[in-house]
Copies of this chain bind each other. A is one copy, B any other.
Amino acid sequence: MPTLYDYLDSGNGYKIRLLMAHLEQPYRRVQLEIFHGASRTPEFLAKNPNGRIPTLELDDGTFLAESNAIMWYLAENTTYVPQDRLGRAQALQWMFFEQYSHEPYVATARSLIRHHAPDSPRRAEVPERQVKGHQALAVMEGHLARRSFFVNERYSIADIALYAYTHVAPEGGFDLSAYPNLLAWLGRVASQPRHIRITDTPMG
């Protein structure tokens, strides 16, 4: 049974938990208090030298890092990864978009607000993150104007990757009411079989 090194509030960790729930894959979960340095200890850096969760430990002791790469490993050759060459590349396109143009703004605005006091100097970074985050949300809104899901009109790991931090974007100060197609897509994702919430831990 694989072991997931995780942090419950993390959207990147939630991607793996949500996919595992869809796949009905049992796993152990280890909660690391990342805001108290638990992902930068010598012990954890031996598992992932980049010092980040989620990290997945496979049965043979191999460690795999990067949420979207872990999802690819778990979902390859299931219905959660497109079955055609172009579809696979388009799923990866949206997953790289998520990590480069979305997560650094939508997720970090939320993290700054949740984990730094209102008078912290770090809070000064929030407005610019929100501007760039809205740019990413607008790209998603345009794509979803004519589509039900991101690739091939079928729910896939590309949707999971983008759902993870988008559905909690209001916690980062993002008003999503200007994005009706995005809101409808959030509802479609949440209605998928075996969906769990970001606060749900495995096996209830």
Interface residues, chain A, with chain B CB atoms under 8 Å away: 49-50, 58, 62, 64-70, 72-73, 76, 85-86, 88-90, 92-93, 95-97, 99-101, 103-104, 139, 142-143
Contact = CB atoms under 8 A, between A and B. Distances in A.
Count of this chain's copies in the oligomeric assembly: 2
Contacts of A68: 92, 96
Which secondary structure dominates chain A's binding surface? helix
A104 B104 contact: yes
A151 to B, nearest CB: 11
Given A72-B88, A89-B72, A89-B73, A66 B143 contact: no
A143 B50 CA distance: 11
A60 to B, nearest CB: 9
Contacts of A99: 96, 99-100
B72 A92 contact: yes
A50 to B, nearest CB: 5
Given A76-B85, A85-B76, A69 B92 contact: yes
Contacts of A90: 64, 69
Contact of A50 (B67, B86, B88, B97): B97
Nearest to A91: B69
A99 B50 CA distance: 13
B50 A101 contact: yes
Contact of A64 (B70, B93, B103): B93
Given A85-B76, A104-B104, A66 B92 contact: yes
